[in-house]
């Protein structure tokens, strides 16, 4: 029997889930113009199934308007369906951006960064995940044996990423059980978040092709090593693309521009963690001594810092100013990449607009420093739960102004409902729910 290929038009929603509608590939030309209908309340579908109380109920109509530059097609041969999708902006019927669209929020923040400060941002998302078909062994960390046991997955996965137009960097077995990490090259602006979606969805598709499952949950059980999404980023001049992050004459190498941007990120990090670590189990991972982020501290070569200045490699052959960049570490795959990058830019804009002074590099693990030194450094512990994070987000006037009241209120309602559902379960049961969802 003949088959006809289907293309999905998708959004990465408030739950960090990729949802959308499909159409015959033969209709592509018309769908690029008219898009496909969508419903506001779809944004209130939680990662675990039930719909959070919706401010829109059954009313309203929106449109998923695809961006042809995000088109991804991975061919698995004649006996399997191709994975074929495009990411979309959610628009009102008059073609304007819908207030609760995560991708439109990011684009708005990027426009403001360029309009107000003449800057663009380059970013790359570094993903950790579990390949569930691999046997768990106690000696698998970074091991050649762990690489061997994933079989043809990595070769097929990296070929699929290349087919989708992503610049390959590394693939490796990580520290945790069944855990692997993939990195791709940086991209400018919204493309970085589009590529983060592709990294996850292609991994899931390739794993399914091999009868396995790629799982990006923040943590698989309370005592396990978690899966982070670390975001590397740098600022550049919007006119000529030159980097603006490094100044050899300033402390820690930070330019005044980068210093104010980072100071804004650090000042708002406790509030916007609700957008970047968006599950209840995310906060099992964001604790001290777990190679994760537990404080809003700036670190240098510190893989427990909330924000770190990344090392320079003399053998890389590039000038220091071209290598100099930063890494945000308090994120995971329960969060939409559009909200992660959008929140970071919103906070950085606050720092630039306010001309915040350069933050100090934390001299050691924050949990080992006296309270008076933490206060002097303006270092705070990140929220210890999703509820606490949502409280801080809701109280933040800067984040409310950046996101808009409708989006912030919808997000908080969505996540409070999820928090209520999960609080009825044990930590082990919550981990299993997130394992199934992500």
| Domain residue limits, the chain | 6-98, 104-437
Contact 170, 152 (CB under 8 A): no
Helix or strand (DSSP H, E) at 171: strand 168-173
pLDDT at 1: 63
Question: 180 Cβ partners below 8 Å, 6+ apart?
Answer: 128, 129, 130, 131, 150, 154, 171, 172, 173, 174
Tell me what percent of the residues of the chain surpass a pLDDT of 70. 99
In this structure, which topology does domain 6-98 adopt according to CATH?
Ubiquitin-like (UB roll) (3.10.20)
Backbone Cα Rg of the chain = 21
User: Which of 306, 300, 308, 275 shows the shortest CA–CA distance to 398?
Assistant: 275
User: How many residues would you count in the chain?
Assistant: 438
- Residue 23 has φ and ψ, to the nearest 5°, of -150, 160
φ and ψ at 122, to 5 degrees? -110, 135
**Rounded CA separation 295/302 (Å):** 12
Which tokens sit at 225?
């090593």
Residue 269 and residue 124: Cα distance in Å, rounded? 19
pLDDT in tens, the chain (438 residues): 678 899 999 999 999 999 999 999 999 999 999 999 999 999 999 999 999 999 999 999 999 999 999 999 999 888 888 899 999 999 999 999 999 999 999 999 999 999 999 999 999 999 999 999 988 888 888 888 888 888 999 999 999 999 999 988 999 888 888 999 999 999 999 999 999 999 999 999 999 999 999 999 999 999 888 999 999 999 999 999 999 999 999 889 999 999 999 999 999 999 999 999 999 999 999 998 888 899 999 998 888 899 999 888 876 667 888 899 999 999 999 999 999 999 999 999 999 999 999 999 999 899 999 999 999 999 999 999 999 999 999 999 999 999 999 999 999 999 999 999 999 999 999 999 999 999
Which residues are within 8 A (CB) of 29 and not within 5 positions of it... i.e. 6 or more apart?
none
Tokens of 42: 């779809």
Bridge partners (DSSP) of residue 173 are 180
**Residue 91 backbone phi and psi in degrees, to 5:** -120, 155
Task: Look up tokens 């409310």; give the residue.
Answer: 400
Count CB-CB contacts under 10 A for residue 376: 11
Is domain 104-437 classified as CATH 3.30.590.10?
Answer: yes
Coil, helix or strand at residue 67:
coil
CA–CA separation, 198 and 73 (whole Å) = 10
Its sign, for the CA torsion 398, 340, 90, 167, is: positive
């Amino acid at each position: 029997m003949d088959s006809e290929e289907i293309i999905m038009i998708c959004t990465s929603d408030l739950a960090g889930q990729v949802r959308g509608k499909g159409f015959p590939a033969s209709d592509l030309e018309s769908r690029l113009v008219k898009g496909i209908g969508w419903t506001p309340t779809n944004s209130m579908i939680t990662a675990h199934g039930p719909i959070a109380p919706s401010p829109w109920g059954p009313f309203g109509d929106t449109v998923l308007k695809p961006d042809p530059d995000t088109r991804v097609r991975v061919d698995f041969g004649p006996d399997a369906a191709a994975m074929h999708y495009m990411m979309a902006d959610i628009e009102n019927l008059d073609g304007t951006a819908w207030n609760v669209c995560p991708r439109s929020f990011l684009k708005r923040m990027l426009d403001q960064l360029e309009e107000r400060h003449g800057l663009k941002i380059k970013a790359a998302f570094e993903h950790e995940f579990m390949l569930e078909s691999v046997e768990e062994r106690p000696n698998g960390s970074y091991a050649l044996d762990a690489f061997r046991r994933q079989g043809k997955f990595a070769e097929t996965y990296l070929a699929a990423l290349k087919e989708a137009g992503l610049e390959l960097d590394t693939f490796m077995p990580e520290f945790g059980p069944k855990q692997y990490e993939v990195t791709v090259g940086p991209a400018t602006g919204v493309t970085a978040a589009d590529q983060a979606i592709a990294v996850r969805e292609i991994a899931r598709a390739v794993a399914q092709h091999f009868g396995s499952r790629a799982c990006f949950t923040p943590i698989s059980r309370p005592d396990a090593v978690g899966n982070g999404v670390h975001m590397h980023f740098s600022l550049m001049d919007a006119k000529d693309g030159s980097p603006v992050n490094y100044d050899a004459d300033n402390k820690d190498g930070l330019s005044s521009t980068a210093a104010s941007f980072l100071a804004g990120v650090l000042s708002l990090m406790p509030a916007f963690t609700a957008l970047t670590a968006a599950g209840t189990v995310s906060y099992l991972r964001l604790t001290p001594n777990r190679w994760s982020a537990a404080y809003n501290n700036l670190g240098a070569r510190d893989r427990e810092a909330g924000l770190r200045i990344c090392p320079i490699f003399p053998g890389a052959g590039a000038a220091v100013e071209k290598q100099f960049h930063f890494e945000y570490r308090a994120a995971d795959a329960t969060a939409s990449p559009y909200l992660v990058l959008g929140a970071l830019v919103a906070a950085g804009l606050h720092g630039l607009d306010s001309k915040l002074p350069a933050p100090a590099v934390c001299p050691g693990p924050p949990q080992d420093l006296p309270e008076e030194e933490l206060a002097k450094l303006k270092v705070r512990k990140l929220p210890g739960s999703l509820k606490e994070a949502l409280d801080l987000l809701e109280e933040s006037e800067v984040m409310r102004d950046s996101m808009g009241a409708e989006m912030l209120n919808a997000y908080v309602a969505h996540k409070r409902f999820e928090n209520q559902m999960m609080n009825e379960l044990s930590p082990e049961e919550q981990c299993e729910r997130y394992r199934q969802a992500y």
